[in-house]
Each structure stands twice: as C-alpha cells, then as structure tokens.
C-alpha cells in the first residue's frame, strides 16, 4: 500500500501539491492517463521532473491522489444529504440518485476521466476501499435513524448498509453504469432505488 503525501501539512507544500494535481488532471482529461507521464506534468507547470518527485513518488501516486480528490466530492455530497431534514428513505434516494448523476456527468461524459477511474478500480487501490467504507458508514447512520423512527424494520444497520450498497452498485460503479446506460432491458435507476428502499421496510 502506498502512502500518499499529506496535503494538510504546511500551506506552501499543499499549494504545490494542488498545482501538480490540477495540472495532472488537466492533462489526463485531455490526453488520457496512459499517454501522460510525469515529465509532461512537469513541463506543463514549468518545473523539473525532479521537483515533481519531491511531492509524489510516481505517476501512480499522482493518480491515486486525484482519485481520492474525485471521491471526496461524492463523500461530501453524502455528508450534506446525511444531515438534511428529510426522512431516511428520502435521504437514501437523494444520495443514490445524486451519485448516479455524478457518475454519468463526471466519469462517463468524459472518456479520459472514465479511463482514470477504471484503472483505479482494476488496481483495487486503497483509496477506493476507504471511500466504500466511508459511504457505508454514512448510509448505515441514515438507516439506523430510519429504524429508530420506525421507517425501516429492526435490523443491523451496518449489514443493511452493505446490502443497500450491493443492491444499488449498478448506479455507482462507473463500469457498470457505462454498461447499463441506455439499455432497454435494464431497470431504471429510480426503480432500483425504490426496490432497495422497500427491502429495508420489510
């Protein structure tokens, strides 16, 4: 497991890391992950390759940090919905459909971004696993509140959160979303969410 740089350290270091990630994301989006190397990123920033390596050990580390940044956007959306004054069911709907739209808009509309995400998933990076764990915690908290309010039947909220995630993975996993998009023999996203929520109520 790689240890990514601590971007919460001193402000100057954080600024440099952000600049590197911004440049890398721009180039990955334009040329694709496979066709971009560390030298290209350094050239875009007007700095030496050796300077890039002061902050990241490899292109893989840069890619991991970018994936973490993209996933953080989804996690923050989940947190915001988690605290909204709505029923537990409505919050699950809002998050799952929001994640689906985010996947379609940011990961599928731009093929180069989709390539970045697919590579990350195929390599089973710990940033992906960490994101899944964090999302399961948030959905588990929502489900626990739904149980306490009588919306959902008594059950283990952690197991329920894992099952809910498995039932709706077609709406969140970029490769699955890409495969199911526009297919006439696939359930609509809204129907999948309603099916999963009904399961929590029985």
The percentage of the chain sitting over the pLDDT mark of 90, rounded to a whole number, equals 54
- Comparing C-alpha atoms, which of 21, 22, 25 is closest to residue 107? 25
pLDDT at 7: 46
pLDDT at 107: 61
User: Does 56 have pLDDT greater than 80?
Assistant: yes
Which tens digits make up the pLDDT trace of 159-183?
999 999 999 988 887 777 767 667 7
Q: Tell me the CA distances in angstroms from 46 to 19, 26, 41, 51, 76, one per residue in order.
A: 11, 15, 9, 10, 33
Report, as an integer, the average pLDDT of 106-134: 72
* pLDDT: which is higher, 69 or 135: 135
pLDDT at 93: 97
User: Does 1 have pLDDT greater than 50?
Assistant: no
- Range scoring the smallest mean pLDDT among 41-50, 98-107, 153-162: 98-107
Token output for 9: 């350290």
Q: Which helix or strand (DSSP H or E) is residue 145 part of?
A: helix 126-148
- Could you tell me the pLDDT band of residue 28, with boundaries at 50, 70 and 90? confident
Report, as an integer, the average pLDDT of 113-118: 68
- Range scoring the smallest mean pLDDT among 39-43, 86-90, 117-121, 182-186: 117-121
Burial of 46 (0-12, 13-18, 19+ CB in 10 A): exposed
- Give the global pTM: 0.79
Token output for 159: 């197991």
Token output for 55: 């902050």
Report, as an integer, the average pLDDT of 80-88: 96
Measured distance CA(4)–CA(65) in Å, rounded: 7
User: Does 122 have pLDDT greater than 60?
Assistant: yes
Q: What are phi and psi of 2, to 5 degrees?
A: -85, 145
- Could you tell me the pLDDT band of residue 151, with boundaries at 50, 70 and 90? very high
Report, as an integer, the average pLDDT of 78-87: 96
């Amino acid at each position: 497991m790689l240890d990514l740089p601590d971007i919460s350290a001193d402000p100057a270091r954080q600024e440099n890391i952000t600049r590197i990630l911004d440049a890398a994301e721009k180039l990955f989006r334009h040329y694709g992950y496979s066709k971009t190397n560390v030298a290209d990123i350094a050239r875009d920033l007007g700095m030496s390759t050796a300077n890039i390596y002061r902050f990241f050990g490899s292109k893989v580390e840069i890619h991991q940090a970018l994936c973490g940044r993209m996933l953080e956007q989804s996690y923050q959306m989940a947190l915001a919905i988690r605290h909204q004054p709505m029923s537990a069911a409505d919050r699950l709907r809002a998050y799952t459909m929001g994640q689906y739209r985010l996947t379609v808009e940011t990961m599928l509309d731009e093929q180069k971004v989709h390539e970045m995400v697919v590579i990350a998933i195929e390599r089973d990076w710990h940033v992906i696993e960490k994101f899944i764990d964090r999302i399961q915690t948030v959905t588990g908290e929502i489900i626990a509140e739904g149980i306490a309010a009588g919306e959902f039947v008594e059950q283990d909220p952690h197991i329920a959160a894992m099952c809910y995630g498995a039932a709706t993975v077609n709406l969140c996993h970029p490769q699955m979303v890409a495969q199911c998009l526009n297919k006439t023999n696939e359930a609509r996203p809204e129907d999948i969410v309603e099916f999963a929520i009904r399961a929590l109520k029985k």
